[in-house]
Structure 1
Amino acid sequence: MLLFSPITPFEFNNQVFYVKRDDLLDKNFNGNKARKFYYFLKRDFPNIKKVISFGSNQSNAMYSLSVLAKIKGWEFIYYTNHISSYLKNNPQGNYLYALKNGMKIIECGLSNEEMRNFVLNLRDKNTLIIEEGGRVKESEEGIKNLADEIKEFAKKHNLKIFLPSGTGATAFFLAKNLDIEVITTPCVGDKEYLLKQLFLLGEIPYNLTVLSPRKKFIFGKLYKELYLLWKELKLSGIEFDLLYDPIGWDTIKHYNLKNILYIHQGGLNGNESLIKRYKYKFNF
């Protein structure tokens, strides 16, 4: 795995942005999840035999944890609310790749706090619990490395940091370890939901700004406008994640944000299944 990902200029919407290419860290272990799980990757845990997490059945964190568990020789159990019969019969995307890495996935019919409380109660001396999306204090170490990599570049070019958020852990720890503005937007739930997730990590840093998206996008729902924006981004030279990044770039356009260093958080494995869904629904 690369220790340092490049920063590249990116011309989009008649403006020049900069992109931190964490998608290039490693083929199988990249993006913000590689940063979040760096702490666990670089240490030995002689008593740990199993890692348990929870969340969406196409989660980037789920896939990255399956890679981590395979490297470490741990059993990986993942809880999710529901798996559609279509996905069960036609495994694809992060779900397929995580299964190939040995993940055991369990439908539990729970969501939000019920799911979280259920999984947290499974902890024992041989089991590592990693919360949804890598929202754990140990994630700070790898994200601090990211902050150190971009700090001087951002100051030199007078840039603000931007990234879309799920649980918000990456944005939280970036802001905590930088003295420049970090801007994010919620992709799972609304602004109020994201703020609740952030408060689980502690007092929200003074330099972290949460902007509401241009409109309410239901997580996982297909929006033609977001797919077309994603295609436009790809034609501009960089492939982004199809689930989070179109909402991020749509927010940048809506607020006319300038002087931005955009954090590319990887997650491209999930694009395959989403592209199929978009082509089926909209007959692209």
Structure 2
Amino acid sequence: MKLSHTPVDTIVMFNRHIFVKRDDLLHPEFSGNKARKFAYFLEHEFPGVTKLIGYGSPQANSLYSMSALAKLKGWSLDFYVDHIASHIKLKPSGNYGAALANGANIISLDSLDDRGDRDTHTYIQEVVLPNETHAIFVPEGGRCEYAEFGVSKLAEEIAQWAKDSGLEHLVVFLPSGTGTTALYLNKYYVEQEINIQVLTCAAVGGSSYLIQQFTQLADNPLYHPEIVALPKKYHFGKLYPEFYEMWKTISLTGIAFELLYDPLGWMTLEHHLSLSQGDVPILYLHQGGLLGNETMLPRYIRKYGA
């Protein structure tokens, strides 16, 4: 089960060479950033634990990876979602279908009588966890202190590759959901005094939301990566023709990228490069998540054609 030390490829984008850290080549069940975020759970024993509890979208990459983790550990998984669209229930596919196949118990809050006006996180904290004495709770997207263990190893891999490649300076770029990976990467480089800068963009909720996520994990702003924003605001999960066009363009490199985060990531990187001076080497962190294309690509095709 390959969970570390992925290769770095070089592609040409925006009329320059860009390195790509191929974390999409990690083991499919823990592809990309989930392999890094869940490394602590994979490498440690948890006596007495029988259940994993999480929450998020019914098509979240974390749902599938948590189902694989629970299956590997011999735990059950209760994964809470706000609601499940009828077409997903009728034809399970992508992360949702794969998680069900792994035995995940996916619980929709809109079917529970005791939900009240609680959001998913609050419901778990107030109703679920007080009655679970043998469970581990992982917040949405793996945003927790446990993630630092694996992300720090990723940061070390990148630093060693840069050193071996003779790069005195490097910019690492990645799109962020909760910002966990970007935060812990940058924290490692700051603490180790390594000349690597982490740039990211907010795929969910905007820059102010992302700063809040950073602060919950590390209140020292020196650890926070730089956020790059596009002039236009995009809503998470909405289909945009420019996303589809960027995805088709980056697919021409021969590397498969996912459709939810990567198009915004590459558009933001292009915007950043158009404004920046100099020619500092750029490494784009491919965070996997390709299973989500099973549901995203048909949506794009229906809306914009093949």
Structure 1 and Structure 2 fold alike (TM over 0.5): yes
Q: Show the counterpart of 2:182.
A: 171
Q: Structure 2: where are the runs of 5+ without partners?
A: 191-195
CA contact (8 A) 1:214 1:250 kept: no
Q: Show the counterpart of 2:214.
A: 198
TM-score (norm 2): 0.88
Inter-partner Cα distance in structure 2 for 1:219 and 1:268: 17
CA contact (8 A) 1:154 1:261 kept: no
For residue 27 of structure 1, report the CA deviation from its aligned partner.
2.3
> CA offsets, 1:174-222, max 9 Å, x none?
0110142111101011111111111111225526101223421111111
Give the percent of matched residue pairs that are identical in Structure 1 and Structure 2. Answer: 44
Matches within 5 A, 1:212-251: 212-251=229-268
User: Larger C-alpha radius of gyration, 1 or 2?
Assistant: 2
Determine which of 108, 119, 133 is the counterpart of 2:124: 119
Inter-partner Cα distance in structure 2 for 1:76 and 1:164: 27
Q: Show the counterpart of 1:211.
A: 228
Describe the SS at the equivalent of 1:206.
helix
Letter in 1 for 2:214: L
Is 1:184 the counterpart of 2:185 in the alignment? no
Q: When the two structures are aligned, how many residues end up with a matched partner?
A: 283
Inter-partner Cα distance in structure 2 for 1:133 and 1:213: 23
Q: Structure 1: where are the runs of 5+ without partners?
A: none
Q: Show the counterpart of 2:145.
A: 137
Deviation larger for 130-139 or 209-218: 209-218
Inter-partner Cα distance in structure 1 for 2:147 and 2:230: 26
Quote the RMSD (CA, aligned, Å): 1.8
CA contact (8 A) 2:82 2:119 kept: no
Inter-partner Cα distance in structure 1 for 2:272 and 2:207: 15
For residue 114 of structure 1, report the CA deviation from its aligned partner.
3.1
> CA offsets, 1:110-162, max 9 Å, x none?
8xx83222223433330110000001101101001001101133353221111
Matches within 5 A, 1:84-123: 84-109=85-110, 114-121=119-126, 122-123=128-129
Inter-partner Cα distance in structure 2 for 1:71 and 1:30: 15
For residue 86 of structure 1, report the CA deviation from its aligned partner.
1.1
Deviation larger for 17-26 or 209-218: 209-218
Letter in 1 for 2:156: D
Q: Show the counterpart of 1:262.
A: 284
Describe the SS at the equivalent of 1:200.
helix
Inter-partner Cα distance in structure 2 for 1:5 and 1:283: 34
